[in-house]
């Protein structure tokens, strides 16, 4: 019995050990070090490390207006980003689960932005906001396209469009999987009771809302 337990423990260590080791080295230790250094006054170079405790946190919340502005910007960006990505992603999924002739091609088109790397994505939308909008503004004379879209806080907020454009396709795929897995018995029961698919589809996909919002939510929070 002891040999069997030892063999199981060894097997678990072999398979889980390397991953756990790298997780501790890459995630846990840097997190703890960052938490420690956030409570000190240190320039990152000298050997003089002054312990401040929670003084830094008290300062940024009480005396740093830039932090409060950045925090409020992140809250607004997160709320708008998560709501819009879910609404658009679910709407696309609902439409593209219909028997459309071009639905596979449309699914590919809407999912493609999620495959674009962050650096390339930044260059594309920087060109659109800076060069593209400026050219349209000069050609049409519309003041809307002459705004400093990336150089001013209020207009930069509409960079939410980029986030939604990138992640809506990802959530679309998740919701398509959810809609395709709605039990057929549930559909038949709803039809017998006089309900259409639109009455129970959002509820049947509710479990996916919380579990699949981790990626867009974490991406929004990184704005801070």
- Domain boundary assignment for the chain: 1-63, 65-221
CATH number belonging to domain 65-221: 1.10.3720.10
Residue 187 has pLDDT above 80, yes or no: no
pLDDT at 54: 87
CA atoms within 13 A on the CB side of 125: 19
pLDDT tens column, 95-129: 888 888 888 899 988 998 888 777 787 788 888 88
Reported as a pLDDT band with limits 50, 70 and 90, residue 22 is very high
pLDDT at 32: 94
Q: Average pLDDT over the chain, rounded to whole?
A: 79
pLDDT tens column, 35-86: 998 899 888 788 888 888 888 888 888 888 888 888 888 888 888 888 888 8
Which of 21-35, 106-120, 146-160, 189-203: highest mean pLDDT?
21-35
Q: Which tops the pLDDT comparison, 92 or 11?
A: 92
Residue 134 has pLDDT above 60, yes or no: yes
Global pTM?
0.66
Percentage of the chain lying above the pLDDT 90 cut: 8
Q: Which tops the pLDDT comparison, 41 or 155?
A: 41
pLDDT at 217: 52
Q: What is the arithmetic mean of pLDDT over 141-152?
A: 76
């Amino acid at each position: 019995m002891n040999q069997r337990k030892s063999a199981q423990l060894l097997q678990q260590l072999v398979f889980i050990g390397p991953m756990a080791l790298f997780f501790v080295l890459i995630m846990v230790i840097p997190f703890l070090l960052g938490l420690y250094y956030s409570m000190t006054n240190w320039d990152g170079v000298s050997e003089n490390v002054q312990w401040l405790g929670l003084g830094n946190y008290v300062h940024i919340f009480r005396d740093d207006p830039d932090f409060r502005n950045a925090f409020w910007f992140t809250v607004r960006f997160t709320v708008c980003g998560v709501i819009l990505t879910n609404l658009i992603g679910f709407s696309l999924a609902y439409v593209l689960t219909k028997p459309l002739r071009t639905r596979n091609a449309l699914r590919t088109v809407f999912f493609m932005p999620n495959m674009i790397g962050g650096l390339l994505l930044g260059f594309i939308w920087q060109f659109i906001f800076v060069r593209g909008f400026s050219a349209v503004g000069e050609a049409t004379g519309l003041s809307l396209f002459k705004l400093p879209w990336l150089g001013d806080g209020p207009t930069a907020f509409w960079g939410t469009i980029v986030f939604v454009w990138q992640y809506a396709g990802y959530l679309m795929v998740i919701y398509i999987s959810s809609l395709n897995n709605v039990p057929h018995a549930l559909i038949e029961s709803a039809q017998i009771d006089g309900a259409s698919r639109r009455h129970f589809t959002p509820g049947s996909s509710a479990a996916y809302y919380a579990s699949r919002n981790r990626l867009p939510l974490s991406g929004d929070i990184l704005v801070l």
